[in-house]
Amino acid sequence: MHNVRDTMIEFVGRPSIQANTAKHYRLHLDRLLLWLDGQGVECVEDITPERLDAWQEHLRDVGKTQATRYKARTVVKVWLRWVWWKKRIPTPNPVLYVEKVKQPRRLREKATVEEIKALLAVCNTTRFTHVRDRALVLFLFATGLRARELTALNVGDYDGETVTVRHGKGDRPRRVPVSPIAAKEMRLYRLRRPPVKDGDPLFVGQTGGRLSYEGLRAILMRRSQQAGIRRILPHMIRRASATAYLAQGVDLYRVKEILGHVSVNTTLRYIGLDLEDLRRDMLNGDPLKLLE
């Protein structure tokens, strides 16, 4: 028999789990652990489909939103699948027989081309912060990197044409091309910096240290306010980048690779499309209609 708490600790503490993901896992697993303790369940083998259904009903009763319940079920599903595989438990995994929680549709905000132009327009002097912020916005838009991927970059990760993401989500490295326009701004930015080494941060803050995630958000919010537009955040530029690539005719699977997604379905959801959208478009443009 395997203790629930011990397997949760082992699961979340794996070296391959990034800090933010571990925090997310821990939040939902701690809630489940508290509920299981109240039910007198200490071993994972005693978790049944009926108990998992009751737990989901409990989340609904205490007012958890559909989005929260969807995330909670997803985390528990990943944990239980890992436990059953890692511990070689011979009985059927109970999560396979639990009612699914439908993922809620939500508006996925993305920056418009006009908003990105407005951000660039307020970075219009030769001051270092203006040069840096202009390069930053163009680099984000050109590569579609996640905010934490960008802030983790070192000088040696960018060769003037491509950027190597060494610490992508799930520790999946990838190389992303950088457009000539963004590369030109990056050269101007590099010229304004003192001599650097490959191990130095690619983007720096006011004091010359590595630009933090919070610092990146603050830069974009400040420039948004100066431009008189809504608050633009890093993920909005990432989604705008993906949409722009598709609008320019780049294949969906190539966009998936640029974004660092495992599944093309993730890319579809990320840019606000789903299989129903594609099915509708396919019917509207069905080539077989030419045979009628």
Question: What is the total count of domains within the chain?
Answer: 2
The model's pLDDT over 3-58, given as tens digits with 9 standing for 90+, comes to 999 999 999 999 888 888 899 999 999 999 999 999 999 999 999 999 999 999 99
State yes or no: pLDDT of 292 exceeds 70. no
Residues 52 and 93 in one domain: yes
286 assigned to some structural domain: no
Residues 118 and 201 in one domain: yes
Residues 151 and 91 in one domain: no
Last residue of a domain, one of 67, 97, 127: 97
pTM: predicted TM-score of the whole model, two decimal places: 0.66
Catalytic machinery residues = 146, 169, 235, 238, 261, 270
pLDDT at residue number 104: 60
Last residue of a domain, one of 66, 97, 128: 97
Residues 123 and 187 in one domain: yes
The model's pLDDT over 156-214, given as tens digits with 9 standing for 90+, comes to 999 999 999 987 776 778 999 999 999 999 999 999 998 899 999 999 998 889 999 99
Residues 202 and 258 in one domain: yes
284 assigned to some structural domain: no
CATH code, domain carrying 177: 1.10.443.10
For the segment 220-244, the average pLDDT, to the nearest whole number, is: 93
- 93, 52 in Cβ contact below 8 A? no
Residues 87 and 155 in one domain: no
Last residue of a domain, one of 97, 130, 151: 97
Domain that holds residue 158: 113-279
- 136, 216 in Cβ contact below 8 A? yes
Residues 124 and 91 in one domain: no
Residues 90 and 202 in one domain: no
Structure tokens at 291: 């045979």
Residues 272 and 238 in one domain: yes
